[in-house]
Structures are given as structure tokens and as C-alpha cells.
Chains A and B, each alone.
Chain A
Amino acid sequence: MNTLEVCGLQKNYKDFCLKDISLELPAGYICGYVGQNGAGKTTTLDLITHQKKSDGGVIKINGMEYKENPKKYKEMIGYVRDMCYFPNDFTLLDIQRILKDFYETFEEDKFMNLCKKWNLPEKKKIKDYSKGMSIRLMFAGILARDTKLLILDEATNGLDPVVKQEVLEILQDYIQDGERSVLFSTHILSDIEQIADYIFFIHKGKKIFYDTKEEIAEKYLLVKGGLEELTDAASGKIKGLKKTSVGFEGIIESDESTCLSVKCVLEKPTIDKIVVAFIKDMEE
């Protein structure tokens, strides 16, 4: 069963278009949705959560489209972002009341236990919460009820490393039962690199690639060498070529690496480097 299915998603704005975005995310996995600022990540997520209306395409969560049952569709989604989305003057208790009112599967005890565990103050107003506290509160609201798809929109931006690590552990916990999945958009790849199962790379509204992280990591190599080793044949095959006075660096497909001189150093590339190389190539 796929937790999320997106097919041919389209959205037209005056100066930006989201074109033909498709992906399938099976249950129990984490997908990193990566791209530069303005590439279309937030737009895609807004369409998936139905905050905005798409101009084409089908979106299904656990096999169900929004129009079939809008309430149930939204219940399945847990959403966290880089800003706190609770009204400023509310307190934790206010939010608990609202969540209890609206969400069938919301468990007060679970919520309070999580808040206590994370030392979230009961009577303080949301506007006085720090960034770390806000994100914990948003998670508490989600983990205290049943969801199938956890969507993070740049949620780790600006978090200190300790809190960031906590978030990554929460995500891995979330998929433990193999029934729920995570879609995590970010432009900071190192945040998601280790734990992502799938990577979807979007650039200027279009899908560049979508594959398991393993396959992407195997498909490409990071090549470094001296300028003498940079033959014309080689430079044609290298993406994101960077030349300095002492050598060069770039990304090459593993299959093509045979054309390189043995003096070149071949390394495992980070997804970061692969994505940057692609972007550089596309800009040229």
C-alpha cells in the first residue's frame, strides 16, 4: 500500500509552474523532497494537504482522494513546518482543547505526557515559545493522534543540532510500525541525508529524479583529479564541473567512470553534491 500517490500534479501561477509532478511513497518509508528555495516544494505540499487547489493531477493518501472524504483525508495528515502555526495568544491547554474537539483519535494523556517529557510550559502563551519548543508542541499535537502521513515543510530550518537530532529520531520512530510514512521537504540535505529512504529532487517546478537513496548513491561518483587528467571526453561526462588552479571536481555516473584516468580519486558522493551538480548543469 502506498501512503502517498501523486500523479501528474500541476499548478499554474503567473511566474511559476509546477509541472507533472508524480511520486509513489510506500508505507513505512521516509522521502526527502529536496530542491532550492523557490523550486516548488512548499507549493507541492500545499497541494497535497489541499491548502491550495491544483490545476491538474491526482493525489491519494492511503488510496483515498480528498474529494471522497475531506474530513478523513485531513485526519490522516500530520503537518509540521518551520513556523509555529498556533494562534499567538493560545496556551498549551487551549490547543489541547481544540485538538480534542476536532480530532477523533486524539488522546489527551498521550499529549500531556509528551508535553511533560519535553518540558513544555502549560500556561505560557505560544508567542513566548522558543523555536525548539514550538516544534515540539507541533509534534506533540500530531503524535497524540492517529495519522498516516507526516509532512514536514522545512521544519528543521533554524533548529539547533540537539533539537534537530531529536526530530530525526521522532521521524524514525514514526515509521517503525511500517504503516506510516514521512514526506520531508528541505533545501538543507544534510538534515535528511542519513535517514531518507527515497529522494525526490525538484527544480523549477519539475521533477529531476525520484529514486531510493541507495540507487542514487550507487549511480553517481564524486570524481576529483588534477587538471591534466581532465580530458575532453571526461569533461563531457562530468556534471557540475568545478575547476581550480590545482585540479577539478565533479559528479560522474558510475558507468561512465571507466573513461577517467586511474589517477583520479573516486569517492562516494553525498546527495548534496549530486543535487548541486545537477543544478549547476541545468543552469548552464
Chain B
Amino acid sequence: MRIVISNQSELPIYAQIREQIKEQILNGLINEGTVLPSIRQLAKELGVSVITTTRAYNELESEGFISSVQGKGSIVRKRDNNMIREQYLKRIEEGLESAFATAKLIGMSKEELKEIFEALLQEE
């Protein structure tokens, strides 16, 4: 498992941890059934607070990526195709939202935006 925290990032630390673990699970770099380091162990290794790692793990659990078993720790769940699709859908939405926000900033019209979208689709 690879987790690298950036203090310069806009993303809060717990979110960085969450996303990086999520990414690796989605890409299959972390296999199902893997037992993740304990919350406290991870906090120590990353040099962050326990509450930070706790939050990251809690969110991963509520999104269905891991489940915590008493006595064993946090285990990576089976990759659910629906779950994966949902995650990617979310990413697509976020990307589009970001594009819309930028467009608004420079005062681009909806038609112009559509044109760019169509052009890009054509390239694919």
C-alpha cells in the first residue's frame, strides 16, 4: 500500500488518505481480503493524528470499500462492480462540474460549452 500525504494540497489529510486507498482498491493494487494497518498504526506511520485516520477509514467503510471486524481490523471488501461504477460516475460528475465552474468564470455560454464537449467526444 502506498500513501503519500501532501501538506500543500487543498484536500484535507483524511480525504487524501481516503482517496489514495480508494484508488488502489479500485485499481486492484490492494486485493480484497487485505487487512489494512490499524488506525493507530497508520496514524503513527504517517505522523498524523488518530482522529484523522479514523475519519478516513470511517468514510471508506460507509462507502463500502472496507469493513471493520472486531479484533481483526479493517478488511478490504470484494470489489462490487456497481460500487466501482458509482465511484467513477462520481468522478465524471465532479470533472464536469469543475468544467462548468471554469466556464462560468470566463462567461462562456452553454452553446460554446456544448461545442467543446462534442468536439472532444469526436476525438475519442
A and B touch in the complex (CB under 8 A): yes
The reply to whether A217 and B40 contact each other, CB–CB distance below 8 Å, is no
Flag A171-189 by CB within 8 Å of B: 1 or 0 each.
0110110100000000000
Partner of A214, one of B14, B41, B44, B105: B14
The reply to whether A29 and B51 contact each other, CB–CB distance below 8 Å, is yes
A262 contacts chain B at the CB level, 8 A cutoff: yes
The reply to whether B49 and A195 contact each other, CB–CB distance below 8 Å, is yes
Residues in B with CB closer than 8 Å to A197 are: 49-51
The reply to whether B40 and A176 contact each other, CB–CB distance below 8 Å, is yes
Distance to closest chain A CB from B68 (angstroms): 14
The reply to whether B105 and A218 contact each other, CB–CB distance below 8 Å, is no
How many positions in chain B have a CB within 8 Å of any CB in the partner chain?
A: 15
Distance to closest chain A CB from B5 (angstroms): 10
The reply to whether A194 and B47 contact each other, CB–CB distance below 8 Å, is yes
For chain B, residues 1 to 38, give those with C-beta under 8 angstroms from any C-beta of chain A.
Answer: 10, 12, 14
B103 contacts chain A at the CB level, 8 A cutoff: no
Residue in chain A with minimal CB distance to B9: A268
The reply to whether A194 and B49 contact each other, CB–CB distance below 8 Å, is yes
How many positions in chain A have a CB within 8 Å of any CB in the partner chain?
A: 23
When A214-B14, A218-B12, A262-B105 are in contact, do A30 and B40 touch as well, CB less than 8 Å? no
The reply to whether B49 and A213 contact each other, CB–CB distance below 8 Å, is yes
The reply to whether B52 and A214 contact each other, CB–CB distance below 8 Å, is yes
The reply to whether B47 and A212 contact each other, CB–CB distance below 8 Å, is no
Partner of A268, one of B12, B47, B49: B12
**In whole angstroms, what is the CA distance A178 to B39 when docked?**
10
Partner of A178, one of B40, B44, B49: B40
When A28-B40, A175-B40, A176-B40 are in contact, do A168 and B50 touch as well, CB less than 8 Å? no
The reply to whether B47 and A29 contact each other, CB–CB distance below 8 Å, is no
Residues in B with CB closer than 8 Å to A198 are: 51
The reply to whether A214 and B51 contact each other, CB–CB distance below 8 Å, is yes
**In whole angstroms, what is the CA distance A30 to B53 when docked?**
14
With most chain B CB atoms within 10 A of its CB, the pick from A217, A267, A268 is A268
**In whole angstroms, what is the CA distance A52 to B14 when docked?**
40
**In whole angstroms, what is the CA distance A205 to B89 when docked?**
51
A196 contacts chain B at the CB level, 8 A cutoff: yes
**In whole angstroms, what is the CA distance A197 to B13 when docked?**
13
Residue in chain B with minimal CB distance to A171: B44
**In whole angstroms, what is the CA distance A121 to B43 when docked?**
33
The reply to whether B12 and A217 contact each other, CB–CB distance below 8 Å, is yes
**In whole angstroms, what is the CA distance A156 to B59 when docked?**
34
Partner of B49, one of A30, A176, A218: A30
**In whole angstroms, what is the CA distance A168 to B48 when docked?**
10
The reply to whether A195 and B12 contact each other, CB–CB distance below 8 Å, is no
**In whole angstroms, what is the CA distance A28 to B53 when docked?**
13
When A175-B50, A268-B12 are in contact, do A214 and B40 touch as well, CB less than 8 Å? no
Residue in chain B with minimal CB distance to A199: B49
When A176-B41, A178-B40 are in contact, do A213 and B51 touch as well, CB less than 8 Å? yes
**In whole angstroms, what is the CA distance A264 to B27 when docked?**
37
Residues in A with CB closer than 8 Å to B105 are: 262
The contact sample of 6 A-B pairs, CB cut-off 8 A, is: A28-B50, A169-B44, A172-B44, A173-B44, A195-B48, A195-B49
Closest 6 interchain pairs by CB?
A172-B44, A197-B51, A197-B49, A212-B51, A176-B40, A197-B50
A-B contacts besides A197-B50, A213-B51, A268-B10, 16 pairs, CB < 8 Å: A29-B51, A30-B50, A169-B44, A172-B44, A173-B44, A175-B50, A176-B41, A178-B40, A194-B48, A194-B49, A196-B49, A214-B12, A214-B14, A214-B49, A217-B12, A267-B10
